[in-house]
Amino acid sequence: MNDPHRSTPSGRTRARGLGLAVEGTPGPWNAITDVPGVAVGYTTLIEGCGPLVVGKGPVRTGVTAILPRPVEEVQTPVFAGFHSFNGNGELTGTHYIAEAGKFALPVTLTNTHSCGLARDATIRWAVRHFSGRFDEDFALPVAAETYDGFLNDINGFHLREEHVFAAIDGAVAGPVEEGSVGGGTGMKCFGFKAGSGTASRLVTHGGQGYTVGAFVQANFGARGDMTVLGHRIGGAFDDLPMRRETPEKDLSSIIAVLATDAPFLPHQLRRIAQRATVGVARMGGFGRHGSGDIFLAFSTANRAIMGGADAALLAATWVPDEQIDPFFEAAAQAVEEAILNAIVANADMEGRDGNFVPAIPHERLRKVVGVAG
């Protein structure tokens, strides 16, 4: 079996497989699925090559589903918070999260022009899956997007509701595939092929162990900004330009989803979501005008109180604000490593009109960061 810290289930090298280890202690899978009950599923759509024919391709897209609870419990809400570092993007359900501090149902990540479809398909999936047992008179699921139009026929609307159903139904715990999969299929980061990435950190609090897991859909940053483990390295790859260089307005975006089994209240989860900004900054991102840098955090704890509308009073546990710093640090570390994994666990990709995004060369990356072979 592959060492899940060093390679993905398909055998793609992760950052730690190159000796690039962000600070902190990862969980067994070094993935968001280290948080008990959390699962990830993908549908990946890759078809065709050559000139763009809108509605026919080439297709380089997909959808990612993140289940905050096991599938039969996914109607049970989780406490949540969100943060918009730069709001040129979409994360549905945020008004309700701001108002009530919670959400339910799977989270989906896809391309910009399929975000609404993914949201609506999630409701349709719940109505069908729970057939007569769907608890909500209305539902406001979370769906998020980043732009893949440099490689993908984004105006061809190739994602369909059955692809969303398949991603949700295929969601599993354990090691998570990374790179050009799911919603991350057509994404790029710092001028290199990127997309889906994940990582986790273990935190001890009050004598008990907890996990903070991160999942990113990374699609941001100019190459010259790229920073790895404190080294500004983008200039070392100037000889690897993309064919038909991307206009600056397309240097966007990143969605980060943070999960934890530690008990927090919604205002605290908003603060944890904010710390994803630190992970982005450590990689060299600074929130360009055209970037949608939007972050979600949720806790699977306090399950017994959620949805308790029949009770006169409810009770919750939470980590005191004054003791939250180790979780802030874990969130920043996990997001930083998830972005790095999204870049490292990848391959060259050519898409519409011959547009090409290279994978980052592993050995050169090791050399410029100063990691021994």
Token pair 């896809």 in the structure block, residue: 110
Catalytic residue selected from 114, 180, 196, 291: 291
Q: Is 114 a catalytic residue?
A: no
Establish whether 293 is a catalytic residue. Answer: yes
Mode of pairing for the β-strands spanning 78-87 and 292-299: antiparallel
Element (H, E) at 255: strand 254-260
CA distance 11 to 200: 19
Q: Report the C-alpha gap between 276 and 316 in whole angstroms.
A: 25
Asked about 239 being catalytic, the answer comes back as: no
Cβ-based neighbour number of residue 8 at 10 Å: 24
Q: What are the residue ranges of helices labelled H in the chain?
A: 94-100, 115-129, 161-169, 266-274, 276-282, 325-344, 362-369
**Integer Cα distance of 275 and 78 in angstroms:** 19
Asked if residues 99 and 135 have their Cβ atoms less than 8 Å apart, the reply is no
Question: Of the residues 253, 299, 321, 353, which is catalytic?
Answer: 253
Taken in order 350, 353, 354, 358, the sign of the CA dihedral is: negative
Could you tell me if 203 and 343 are in contact, meaning their C-beta atoms sit under 8 angstroms apart?
Answer: no
Identified catalytic residue from 114, 200, 293, 299: 293
Q: How far, in Å, are 175, 203, 220, 251, 315 from residue 208 at the CA level? A: 24, 8, 36, 41, 20
Q: Which residues are catalytic?
A: 253, 291, 293
